[in-house]
Amino acid sequence: MSDSDVQGASRPARRLIAVSLIVWAVLALGLPLAALTLNAVKLAGFPFGFWVTAVFVLIALAALAMVFAARAGGDASGETISPSLRLAGEAIGSAGVIGSVGAIAALGYDGLAFPLGLAAGLALLTLIIAPRFSLYPVRSLAGFFTVRYGGLWPRRMALIIAAIGSVSLLAADLRGGALAVQGAFATDYATGVALTTVALSIVWLLRSLFHVPSGRGVVFAALLVMVFIPVFALPMSQGRLPLPLFVYGYGLEDLAALEQKLIVNKLADVRSLKPMTAPFLQLSMANFAGLVLALAFGLAALPYLLGRHLSQAAVKPGAAPRRAALASVWVVWFLLALAAFAVFERIGVADMISKGIETAALPPALVDASGRGWVTICGVASYASTEISAACAKASGHRGFLRLQDVAFSSDGFAVAAPWISGLPPIAFMPLWLAAALAALVTGHAIIAGFLAADAEGRHTGPADAAGLDVRSVVLGIGMLLLALVVAMIGGLEIPALFSEGLAVIAGGLFPALVLGLFWRRMSAAGAIAAMVAGFVVTATYIAGVRHFPVLMFDWTGGLSDAAPGAVRKFADLKVALANARTDEAGTLAYAALWRHAGGIANWWGLKPAAIVLLGIPAGILAGVLVSLLRPARSEDGPAGD
């Protein structure tokens, strides 16, 4: 299908697309991977490499998207900013509100992969997906696979992959909402997840049955205000100007000085410190790049965003690139605050510990955060300060004062707990909890509604809302919610992992077939199926193996692991110990030890789970091209791309 077939469509020249993609690659990968070299220069307190990745690249990606949309042309008359605000709100979710802040606080520079991946994904959506996807007379990604390739199996495979990835994304949103409920109502985590699931179910059913309007972008504006209240209040409480986006370079210097002071006063050891600006200490360069690409490619192929905002049923073809570009601007404005917030949160925690807190008299906010499971103190998570004090007394080298190494936040918990224990009043930090809850409901509804619309497109004709909720849709929606609830409750994964791995599945399974279908005329239905199967199998098998079957994975593919020889020998010794166990209890303990050890060495060349897209996407592209050459598209396969 050609853009000349659709009146008013944008018409980006091939040269414009090629140049834009080169610039995109330099911004999304080239400059961030050069941070170690760039950090030799400082700018207003910032190591230059950190500033480039945390600030400059995000702004440049949004600017690239806007310039591309303007140069691509197209009839965007009647397009207001409200649709782009709605797209931005549904793209963020609680992973943006909670997960990204926690990842940056926990990983330092390496955590910047999360906001960078989101910004890069929206820019990529503008450059290569929006202009061509909106040309097809469909209202979902599944509809695109039907129209472009014909037959049933391309659509079915797309729905299966979208469902699996969506459950992980939905679980991340439920977890973010649960943390907000915990904070607001002092419940345990299980109750928080259950209440969030019930609230999301009500929102989904009400909006589906009564077609409640979406708010015309007000939700994203409210989300932005709620997040910026604590972002501005936190530096003010530390005696700084309320200009976090401009002064946090000096905050980085203060954080480094505070952490050095903790070491001098024996309130921290070197191993407990995670330098904020030093790159590639927690993630290798390959893992950093893989995580960025997983987020970017997954977001660019995210089914509910394409169907609800960039399909021909939702937007004029000429306005699609502009809508995506504007959404990238709104999201980048939001993302710019995340690194600043993480820095000031870490300053607040370090400052609290530097005051010399006796473990026998811990601050109530810290004990309460421990009881809610957001932080463990001396290995204990409890509402009982006496229990925590007793555990600290048994810790090696403890002198009765709280040390940095005694306090272990979960990455999710850090984002919601640090402002509280830093001494902010409730009016300043509670908006963050409300933002997490709102984001969970908005994005959670979008995930469910988007998938159900894609499933219904092959069964109903007419407008997207004409069919309403039938029995199949209700069953599928409830099934998705229950599966996501189980994953959020017992999966043991935090928001960054759930979010990145869900997007990795979508990137590996859907992105190759989508892009080849949009840009390569010879891509066939058989090639699309091969691309989806190959990309999905490589990506999902690796993630499942690392997360859930590490012993089996290391047994079968241990030769690909980067495990040291000593770790390999220990694995063999633990297997022998398991084989020699004489009782059920001994066998259980031996297997638990083997499983824990295997979890640290089961990998391919050291890749983290989401970074497997470095192999999954090439596998999908290669399979799609080879099979399409062997089994070319037939005329009945559907209209071909340019």
pLDDT at 464 over 80: no
Query: How far is 146 from 142, CA to CA, in rounded Å?
Result: 6
Q: What is the pLDDT of residue 435?
A: 87
Write the CA distances from 37 to 4, 34, 252, 286, integer angstroms: 46, 6, 18, 17
Q: Name residue 251's amino acid.
A: G
| Listed residue (550, 475, 543, 546) closest to 509, CA to CA | 543
What sign does the dihedral 555-559-561-563 (CA atoms) show?
positive
User: What own/partner pairs with CB < 8 Å and gap ≥ 24 does 180-183 have?
Assistant: 180/94, 180/416, 180/433, 180/434, 180/435, 180/436, 180/437, 180/440, 181/437, 182/372, 182/373, 182/374, 182/416, 183/372, 183/416, 183/420, 183/430, 183/433
Alpha helices of 301-422 — where are they, by DSSP H? 303-305, 320-354, 364-371, 385-393, 411-421
3-state secondary structure of 369: helix
Q: What is the pLDDT of residue 641?
A: 46
pTM of the model: 0.93
> Where does the pLDDT of residue 503 fall: very low under 50, low under 70, confident under 90, or very high at 90 and above?
very high
389-442 confidence digits (pLDDT tens): 999 988 888 888 999 888 888 878 888 888 888 888 888 888 888 888 888 999
**Helix-, strand-, coil-residue percentages of the chain, each rounded to 5:** 75, 0, 25
187-225 confidence digits (pLDDT tens): 888 999 999 999 999 999 888 887 766 665 788 888 888
Q: Mention every residue, 6+ apart, whose C-beta is less than 8 A from residue 546.
A: 553, 599, 602, 603, 609
Query: Tokens 């859907």 label which residue?
Result: 510
Arithmetic mean of pLDDT, 605-632: 96
Q: Name residue 499's amino acid.
A: F
Q: What percent of the chain has pLDDT over 70?
A: 94
Question: 135: which DSSP letter?
Answer: T
17-33 confidence digits (pLDDT tens): 999 999 999 999 999 99
213 vs 282, residue with greater confidence: 282
Task: Kindly report the backbone phi and psi dihedral angles of residue 407, in degrees, each rounded to the nearest multiple of 5, phi listed first.
Answer: -105, 115
Q: What is the CATH class of 3-349+426-550+609-637?
A: mainly alpha
Q: What is the pLDDT of residue 634?
A: 67
* Tokens at 434, concatenated: 């409300």
466 vs 340, residue with greater confidence: 340
Q: Mention every residue, 6+ apart, whose C-beta is less than 8 A from residue 571.
A: 554, 558, 563, 594, 597, 598, 601
555-586 confidence digits (pLDDT tens): 999 999 999 999 999 999 999 999 988 888 88
pLDDT at 642 over 70: no
Task: Kindly report the backbone phi and psi dihedral angles of residue 276, in degrees, each rounded to the nearest multiple of 5, phi listed first.
Answer: -70, -35
Arithmetic mean of pLDDT, 60-80: 92
Mean pLDDT of the chain: 89
Query: How far is 157 from 529, CA to CA, in rounded Å?
Result: 7
3-state secondary structure of 313: coil
User: Taking a C-beta distance cutoff of 8 angstroms, is the pair 321, 530 a contact?
Assistant: no
3-state secondary structure of 72: helix
CA 187 to chain centre: 25
Of the candidate ranges 215-219, 376-380, 614-618, 636-640, the one whose mean pLDDT is the lowest: 636-640
pLDDT at 637 over 80: no
Arithmetic mean of pLDDT, 512-527: 95
3-state secondary structure of 425: coil
242 vs 453, residue with greater confidence: 453
Arithmetic mean of pLDDT, 125-131: 96
Q: What is the pLDDT of residue 291?
A: 97
Residues shown for the chain: 642
Burial tier of 639 (Cβ tally within 10 Å: 0-12, 13-18, 19+): middle
| Radius of gyration in angstroms for the set of CA atoms belonging to the chain, rounded to a whole number | 25
Q: Name residue 27's amino acid.
A: L
Query: How far is 294 from 243, CA to CA, in rounded Å?
Result: 32
pLDDT at 81 over 80: yes
Arithmetic mean of pLDDT, 293-300: 97
